[in-house]
């Protein structure tokens, strides 16, 4: 028998899991990855399990699922016990949003809240875990930047858009982004990133210092406190979204490599603004957002020449892996046109244009860094954007693609306008 009762609603599949469609031994399959880290290794599912997973939206009972599977199989009988056993396996694998999952997530959250440090989550996986090897890796990566046109005379780089895709996949654009920072000596770095697991608020802040194989980066707790007070209910009550977030971790590696490990950072994760686009024309029209952005803008302006703003974002995510019913190659040109329009709006510091372009396509291309970009444009002092590079990573196994770019914001004088 199963713990899933016949008349009770079956828990849905965890929405934070990443599903990658592939072909395995000539048959459709899905690789499941857990960015939260509860599932230590990717899981391959296909056949009966894959059909079942497609039905688990949190609204169906065991009997509803049985009837749906029977219809899918053209009338072939499927027992409740067999479905229940499969559900048990999914629950044991921590793929369901069940009591088991919530209990473990709560435990992880409580453990993370007690920590003074945000330790590197991807060392030894996405990049070398040993300091000397990591430095050699980053040196080699930065050497691939090629020739980059300089900014206008008399300007300095005040802000930067860089990717947060896997380092190897985006190495040329990472190199072009961080090569323009050589020679700077910022005292405070405002580190803006996409909160991929941030669901309960628009912003997530942490007072934890960040540890990487290169050393310890200190968090500006005073600035974080000011932002928390200003943001109020728009700021998540927990900093758990920072635990395994790579959009900040990858940027931090380059920043420590260039400026030394003991840098001062203000780490901010941004949730999605998608649900607000239909009734708001600007980010600051969202309730509570203006106060947060006003304080952030003030902090950046006061930092002046000693400040640097870095946004770790990616652009379009297209293809079956990201919910589309056609291959990325079939509409890559459309996605690139959208990306270019967003980048043009960024270069011109045109928040209204950025917002309008995203709303025009109803976020059809899944630009995960949109809210980060919108807030970047609202908070940077006067500066002109300079596109450093644009690229697309094609994932052949899933017929999907991710685009990413690098842009420097050049400011006159001390960056105060």
Distance between CA atoms of residues 298 and 285, nearest Å? 18
Measured in whole angstroms, the distance separating CA 184 from the mean position of its chain's CA atoms is 27
pLDDT digit string (tens) for 139-155?
Answer: 999 999 988 888 899 89
- Give residue 348's pLDDT: 95
Single pTM value for the model: 0.88
pLDDT digit string (tens) for 370-412?
Answer: 999 999 999 999 999 999 999 999 988 778 999 999 999 999 7
Query: Where is 266: in which H helix or E strand?
Result: strand 264-270
* pLDDT at residue 353 greater than cutoff 90: yes
Angstrom distances, CA of residue 229 to CA of 116, 199, 289, 372: 21, 20, 12, 20
The residues, ordered by sequence, that sit 6+ positions from 92 with a Cβ below 8 Å of its Cβ are: 100
pLDDT digit string (tens) for 159-187?
Answer: 999 999 999 999 999 999 999 999 999 99
pLDDT digit string (tens) for 47-83?
Answer: 889 889 888 988 999 999 999 999 988 889 989 999 9
In 3-130, which residue ranges form alpha helices assigned H by DSSP? Answer: 48-53, 62-72, 80-92, 99-114
15 by Cβ neighbours in 10 Å (0-12 / 13-18 / 19+) ranks as exposed
């Amino acid at each position: 028998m199963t713990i899933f009762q016949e008349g009770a609603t079956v828990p849905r599949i965890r929405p934070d899991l990443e599903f990658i469609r592939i072909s395995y031994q000539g048959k459709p399959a899905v690789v499941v990855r857990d960015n939260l880290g509860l599932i230590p290794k990717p899981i391959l599912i296909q056949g009966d399990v894959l059909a079942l997973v497609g039905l688990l939206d949190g609204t169906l009972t065991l009997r509803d699922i049985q009837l749906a599977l029977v219809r899918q199989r053209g009338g072939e009988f499927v027992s409740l016990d067999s479905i229940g056993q499969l559900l048990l396996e999914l629950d044991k694998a921590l793929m369901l949003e069940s009591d088991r999952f919530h209990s473990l997530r709560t435990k992880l959250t409580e453990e993370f809240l007690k920590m003074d440090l945000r330790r590197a989550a991807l060392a030894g996986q996405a990049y070398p875990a040993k300091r000397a090897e990591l430095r050699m890796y980053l040196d080699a990566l930065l050497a691939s930047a090629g020739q980059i046109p300089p900014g206008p005379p008399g300007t300095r780089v005040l802000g930067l858009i860089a990717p947060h895709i896997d380092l190897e996949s985006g190495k040329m654009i990472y190199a072009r982004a961080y090569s323009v920072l050589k020679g700077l000596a910022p005292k405070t770095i405002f580190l803006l990133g996409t909160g991929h697991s941030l669901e309960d608020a628009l912003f997530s802040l942490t007072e934890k210092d960040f540890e990487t194989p290169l050393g310890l980066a200190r968090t500006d707790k005073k600035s974080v406190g000011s932002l928390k007070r200003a943001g109020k209910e728009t700021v998540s009550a927990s900093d758990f979204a920072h635990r395994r977030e790579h959009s900040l971790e990858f940027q931090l590696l380059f920043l420590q490599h260039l400026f030394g490990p003991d840098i001062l950072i203000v780490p901010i994760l941004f949730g999605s603004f998608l649900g607000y686009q239909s009734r708001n024309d600007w980010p600051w029209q969202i309730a509570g957002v203006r106060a947060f952005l006003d304080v952030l803008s003030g902090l950046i302006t006061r930092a002046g020449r000693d400040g640097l703003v870095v946004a770790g974002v990616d652009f379009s995510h297209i293809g079956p892996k990201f919910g589309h019913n056609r291959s990325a190659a079939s509409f890559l040109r459309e996605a690139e046109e959208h990306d270019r329009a967003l980048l043009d709006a960024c270069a011109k510091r045109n928040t209204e244009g950025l917002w309008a372009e995203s709303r025009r396509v109803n976020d059809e291309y899944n630009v995960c860094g949109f809210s980060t970009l919108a807030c970047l444009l609202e908070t940077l002092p006067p500066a002109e954007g300079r596109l450093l590079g644009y690229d697309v990573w094609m994932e052949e196994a899933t017929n999907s693609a991710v685009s990413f770019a690098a842009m420097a914001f050049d400011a006159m004088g001390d960056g105060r306008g």
